[in-house]
Chains A and B, each alone.
Chain A
């Protein structure tokens, strides 16, 4: 929940080009510098649908979806950190 609030606040504070008013669905969302945060709601949606299909009873879905959502986020963060370290090491080696 805290993550979602953080994402919403970041998106709300994203810079908007004042010269042209944003037209939803016509123009892309002006979040050029925060695109990676858009993966978070997608992961949440995937977790909910996946667990709704997988779970025997719908009562289990919120807890199971929250667990898998956390696991996906943790996995993606871990992969990002590993790749960042790898890039830094390769930059130093050159």
Chain B
């Protein structure tokens, strides 16, 4: 039986592949295909821009962030205070849905890169209102379901395939 951390890593890389590694192909196929279908359905419903992280930015987003940081630096200098750059954790929590979405695997990161590069400097357009919310919900739920599958497959790997 492969080591549980390896099963967990493979399960993150390809949803359901953790089960395949421990010999449970049917379970892996059903879980993996369903999670990927939910994720792709989310992208279809809200547009690819429902995947939005603080670290993968379009050219326009980066310019806006640099502008805001330059303003904050100027204000700090004027008040004779040391400029504190944004805390990485706080920056991540500005867009907390991406934490759930990223659990669906590299497909979420790839979708974010495509969303920020597709269509020029602004990236793909954002959708709004309920359709955007439902798209974000689908993709984040897909990630959370994959987390359940990762934990379960790793636990089964440590118990010789049983729960």
Contact = CB atoms under 8 A, between A and B. Distances in A.
Interface residues of A, number: 23
Summarize A's interface: helix, strand, loop or mixed.
Answer: helix
Given A25-B47, A58-B26, A49 B35 contact: yes
24 contacts: A25-B44, A25-B47, A25-B124, A26-B48, A26-B118, A26-B124, A27-B125, A28-B131, A28-B135, A31-B131, A35-B130, A41-B41, A42-B134, A45-B142, A46-B145, A48-B34, A49-B30, A49-B34, A50-B148, A52-B31, A53-B31, A53-B149, A53-B152, A61-B30
B141 interface: yes
B22 to A, nearest CB: 13
Summarize B's interface: helix, strand, loop or mixed.
Answer: helix
Contact of A35 (B30, B119, B131): B131
Nearest to B30: A52
Interface of B: 26-27, 30-31, 34-35, 37-38, 41, 43-48, 118-119, 124-125, 127, 129-132, 134-135, 137-138, 141-142, 145, 148-149, 152, 163
Interface of A: 24-29, 31-32, 35, 38-39, 41-42, 45-46, 48-50, 52-53, 56, 58, 61
